[in-house]
Amino acid sequence: MFRSSTILANNILLINKTLVVKDNSMIERKHGIYNGRNKSSAYKDLVWTVATSSNTSLDIKGQTRLTLDTIQENLIELGSDKTRILSAQVYIADMNSKSLMDRVWCEWFGENSQNWPQRACLGVDLEGDVLIEITVTAVR
């Protein structure tokens, strides 16, 4: 289906005879250390963040701890915390180390199952000596 749209003003569009106001003022973005992307974003009550280890000389357990601690810092910066994570995607460089990562993950989240997010874990090629990358979606 073809959608006809016309820009009427900076944040106002006319799409198929419907007036649409784009308001970016509700989006918060927190810049990280890399150009072209942010470490965290929030819209209304949802927060998204991503992290890798700040020390890639560590093993998978050490990198997992540092990555999770960075996730917590990023969430706090946008008014959330690890107990409010809804969903997580864990990318690890070696699926043979998943059980080691799982131990750190479980220790970090604790025994209260109400604080455990839904999670997927994928084996991927990561850059350099990075062994783990985690993205999460949380609520404020």
Return d(Cα 6, Cα 139) in angstroms, integer. 34
Least confident of 17-21, 76-80, 82-86: 17-21
Is residue 58 one of the residues assigned to a domain? Answer: yes
The whole-model pTM stands at: 0.81
| Domains identified in the chain, total number | 1
Is residue 8 one of the residues assigned to a domain? Answer: no
CATH number (domain holding residue 64): 3.30.1330.40
Give the tens place of pLDDT for each residue, 11-55.
666 666 666 656 667 888 888 888 888 899 999 999 999 999 999
Residue 10 has pLDDT above 90, yes or no: no
Is residue 1 one of the residues assigned to a domain? Answer: no
Tell me the residue ranges of DSSP E strands in 2-131. 5-9, 12-15, 18-21, 27-31, 38-43, 46-52, 85-92, 118-123
Secondary structure (DSSP) of 103-117: HHHHHHH-S-GGGPP
CB-based contacts of 130: which residues, under 8 Å, 6+ apart? 52, 53, 56, 63, 93
Q: Are 1 and 7 in contact (CB under 8 A)?
A: no
Question: Which strands form 132-139's sheet, in the order they lie side by side?
Answer: 27-31, 38-43, 46-52, 132-139, 85-92, 118-123
Give the tens place of pLDDT for each residue, 111-139.
999 999 999 999 999 999 999 999 999 99
Is residue 3 one of the residues assigned to a domain? Answer: no
Domain range for 110 is 25-139
Q: Are 78 and 42 in contact (CB under 8 A)?
A: yes
